[in-house]
Amino acid sequence: MKILIINSGSSSIKYQLMVMPENEVICSGMIDRIGLETSNVTFKTAVNSLEEMIAIPNHKVGLQKVANMLLDAEKGVIKSTSEIAAVGHRVVHGGSDFSDTVKIDEKVKAKIKQLFELAPLHNPANLEGINVAEEIFSSAEQIAVFDTAFHQTMPEVAYKYAIPNYLLTENKVRVYGFHGTSHKYVSEKAINYLKDNSKIITIHLGNGCSMAAIKDGKCIDTTMGFSPSNGLIMGTRAGDIDQSVIFYMIKNLGYTPDEVNAVLLKQSGMLGLTGYSDLRDIEAEAEKGNKECQLALLMNAYRIKKTIGAYAAALNGLNAIVFTAGIGENSSYMRNLVCTDMDYLGIEIDASKNQVRSKEIREINKENAIVKVLVVPTDEEYEIANQVFHLLKN
């Protein structure tokens, strides 16, 4: 069964065409920096590799580019869209309506659209991916895999806010958690590697960032909440902020609610602190002596370190921390900042191991460190394909 996976992120599109259950990757690629001056487009097969820098203004243009590459007469991998049995879509917010993988119909799309306000950087891009895929791959089953599903094991003490009870019972205002597909995949990989599944903290660092406390293979807490906007500092999102700031901006500074929302989601985070949203640019500037970039990196690491301490307490111990996603897997600089001065918790990394680049799971902790520090490349596309295959099989 050929399954196309479309993972539309806030500023990127990852895709893979896979044969399941053989877990054979026919092709894969990514379009990142969507909406910036130039975007990086990649397309890889066993025999061909394409990389180009072009303008990709939005997700619709990006998805049309993906389809064109798949069908390309010279380097493409399919002759007809009818070869694809299913398209699996990552959908960020499922609210209280979806806790499992589902076939997409008009009712499902309507629910995804209703949740736009809770995931304004993601759900619109996810739905755009679904709509374009329905047009291009019209004979394929369209399947939604929700980021919120993995976090449904959180206990009430963790997912409930200290607000009037009716807001939960009537309006479903609670912690949902996000990046669940990634946290699920890397935690399972870590558990298999460690032969110990008791107490793990997974750290997903990309344009969006989140952490999860995982006990016995199940999520017990996570940093993102009602929407994917709080918790850690992100590319353009502020993360945790005193809610009084919002009312101050509206009442005293003349902002409208929509303007405040735009500031906190699209103009804050690393972009607001430095003028850059991409960590690669920020690290390069920091190395040149840019004080704002240096401080922003320290602030980012500081918030991660605080959360590690909090989750170690919630777990009543710690066996391993796991770095994953674009920044977590590739930035030795950020991993070093996070793990410096953490020896009290048993976290100590080996500087030489930290510099190694690999697509395989690896340890970067010192040999005798109490807590394992792992870098586990995430594969949300495989996790989505696996869930799609099992849904259709059953």
Which active-site residues does the annotation give?
Answer: 147
Pick from 367, 337, 368, 364: nearest CA to 353: 364
**Cβ contacts of residue 296 below 8 Å, gap of 6+?**
233, 270, 273, 274, 282
**Cβ contacts of residue 171 below 8 Å, gap of 6+?**
none
Long-range contacts (CB closer than 8 Å, 24 or more residues apart) made by 13-22: 13/59, 13/62, 13/63, 13/66, 13/129, 14/380, 14/381, 15/66, 15/381, 16/381, 16/382, 16/385, 17/70, 17/77, 17/78, 17/84, 18/381, 18/382, 18/385, 20/385, 20/386, 20/388, 20/389, 21/389
Burial class (CB in 10 A: 0-12, 13-18, 19+), 105: exposed
The full DSSP string for 229-248 is TSSS--SS---S--HHHHHH
The full DSSP string for 115-135 is TGGGSTTTHHHHHHHHHHHHH
> Structure tokens of 117?
């306000």
- Contact, 211 vs 222, CB < 8 A? yes
DSSP-derived letter for residue 394 is: -
> Residue 116: how many CB atoms within 10 A of its CB?
15
> Structure tokens of 209?
């960032």
Query: Cα(first)–Cα(last) distance of the chain, in Å?
Result: 14
